[in-house]
A and B are shown apart, each in its own frame.
Chain A
């Protein structure tokens, strides 16, 4: 009876590599709560989620490209988030286009269009993803600066509500949930299976008749679309468009995806894993902030915990899968 339970537990860990990351995230959440009792109260959730949303969405927006394989590390997501926030605050709201019914679709369109261009560069023109998105990083950072020379604050608008609450629902929650809704719809089509097949072995997928280029372009477009949502979240959280911090989310977002169990080689991983990975990094930062230590210490601790977290999550999930294999053999 007991071994049965153990086998079931190990088996479920094997199919859900993010489960161990989730355990780490929960421990960090409890630690945060212990360090500062006002961390997560009923009234602090909206602002907590608003702070978390841009980073979580940066990680989520990096995931489809990585799942599509061929070294799909998209380093243009950080600057894209920034560009979208600059467009929304500096170009739309500042010039009087204050209707969310125009601003939100515009932001999503900018994100998806940039992602689609990246996808064509990688999928059709056969550029390496790192090179294509590195050029994207330069072009998008330049474009952000060209549109808006200095950070601009947003006036009172729908963005203020999105940064707090939309009706009874925290705005951050809506933003974070929207990519998952898209993903749920896609799960009812053949697309996700094709995406994982292409990421796992592109040559085999091509031989099996999968249109690899189309799958990749869609993956990069989805990433861009999610980055568009992330840009809205960034504008909502800061209420400014800031062209100067274009690359701040790039590297932590990729780290979050890796911690969440998505393979950097492609074909394995999930959006949920990236969300949990992002939560881990975010909670490490808030924990260090609440401990109120010497202001020069946080980066040191952050780096150390980052390494410990990735080692722990990789080692534990390997041990679990090895043990689960052992159980299957024994049975």
Chain B
């Protein structure tokens, strides 16, 4: 499925007569992200052989939970990047979800269901505004989402008078904990939830009409309009989905940390974006959510190895940046200009 979506330029380097070994390898790469998986395997092997207790069940489970947080942060961003936009308001949605769930349930004693419904509704609406305004006025989504991000943070500061004090419901801590079992199986519920999100997004993008419209809009909005794709609706719904996913992650992060504050979501912006790009999704219709899943796993394993080796925070960041470049060198670079004429 995804192979048919690649523009023809991608195969130009191959020999025309019969698929050579290299061409077949490139096809496998496009279908199954061979290099990404290879890099993930090698990094894991590196950790398993050099860091003690790296490959224990508990360590793998906690890596999966971290990857789930990161992968969920990159979920909305993947959709938005595919339609050719970028969403810088993801951290605000995360902080917002965490603050609202703690304040509404902890301070105002709402039921969790009501609080979650309000959060998801608000996230959908605000996300939709991001997409609608960007497309209606043809302005960069980067600036619109940056503005939205400030407005959400400002609104929350005003509402909580600068100090969010509530505690998130206890069951959310259980859901996001590494030790919890799902229906008797030893997999944390958060990881199961991530798998569900991944399957829903993967199938929607790859196998359904709405998914196909996302790719059409991202590849060429004008051509998409000529094929009767309502691109404004696609943009609005895509950003709404990104807001919704940010809100869901916010509720979970609130449960994990027990309370919320306005900077809680900040680390997820650049790391979530890194998961998307390291996975191999690029602006405008190339990529899918599976790539982001692999990207999130890759970055989590890398971080865990670096922490396990006892590097300082500063060294971790530097090595993290350099290793991403090294890993992506294998698959994530643009074609040569001379092959594009």
Contacts and interface: CB of A to CB of B under 8 A. Distances in A.
Interface of A: 70-71, 73, 75, 121, 125-128, 130-132, 134-139, 141-146, 202-203, 206-207, 212, 247, 251-252, 254-255, 258-259, 264, 294-307, 310-311, 314-315, 318
B317 A251 contact: no
Contacts of B282: 128
Given A294-B158, A310-B140, A304 B318 contact: no
Most chain B CB within a 10 A radius of its CB, from A71, A73, A121, A306: A306
Interface string B150-183: 1111110110011000000000000000000000
B139 A297 contact: no
Contacts of A314: 137-139
Given A138-B320, A299-B150, A131 B138 contact: no
A307 B148 contact: yes
A264 B318 contact: no
Given A128-B334, A137-B321, A296-B154, 14 more contacts: A73-B142, A127-B328, A128-B283, A139-B317, A146-B315, A258-B140, A295-B162, A296-B157, A297-B154, A299-B157, A302-B154, A306-B146, A307-B143, A311-B137
5 contacts: A126-B336, A130-B277, A134-B324, A296-B162, A300-B151
Given A71-B283, A130-B277, A258-B140, A299 B320 contact: no
Contact of A138 (B157, B277, B312, B324): B324
A71 B281 CA distance: 14
A134 B148 contact: no
A212 to B, nearest CB: 6
Contact of A251 (B88, B133, B153, B312): B88
A307 B147 contact: yes
A147 to B, nearest CB: 9
A315 B277 contact: no
Contacts of A138: 270, 274, 317-318, 320-321, 324
A139 B319 CA distance: 7
A314 B141 CA distance: 13
Contacts of B142: 73, 254-255, 258, 264
Contacts of A145: 313-314, 317
Contacts of B316: 142
Contacts of A299: 150-151, 153-154, 157
A163 to B, nearest CB: 27
Contacts of B315: 142, 146
Nearest to A145: B314
Q: Is the interface of B mostly helix, strand, loop or mixed?
A: helix
Interface string B290-332: 0000000000000000000000111111111110110011001
B318 A143 contact: yes
B21 interface: no
Contacts of A70: 334
Nearest to A306: B147
Contacts of A141: 317
A263 B248 CA distance: 33
Interface of B: 88, 133, 137-140, 142-144, 146-155, 157-158, 161-162, 270, 273-274, 277-278, 282-283, 312-322, 324-325, 328-329, 332-338, 340-341
Nearest to A147: B314
Contact of A139 (B133, B138, B154, B321): B321
B151 to A, nearest CB: 3
Given A128-B282, A142-B318, A294-B158, A310 B277 contact: no
Given A203-B340, A310-B144, A303 B150 contact: yes
A295 to B, nearest CB: 7
Contact of B154 (A202, A298, A307): A298
Contacts of B146: 251-252, 255, 303, 306
A307 B325 contact: no
Contacts of A258: 139-140, 142-143
Contact of A134 (B143, B273, B322, B341): B273
A134 B154 contact: no
A328 to B, nearest CB: 22
Given A126-B333, A139-B317, A121 B325 contact: yes
Contacts of A301: 154
A142 to B, nearest CB: 3
Nearest to B313: A145
A310 B314 contact: no
Contacts of A125: 329, 333
Nearest to A298: B154
B20 to A, nearest CB: 22
A138 B303 CA distance: 13
B154 A127 contact: no
Contact of B133 (A127, A134, A254, A311): A311
A135 B157 contact: no
Contacts of A212: 337
B126 to A, nearest CB: 11
Contacts of B153: 299, 303
Nearest to B340: A203
A306 B89 CA distance: 13
Contacts of B143: 254-255, 258-259, 306-307, 310
B243 to A, nearest CB: 15
B310 to A, nearest CB: 15
Contact of B337 (A203, A304, A311): A203
B91 to A, nearest CB: 10
Nearest to B136: A311
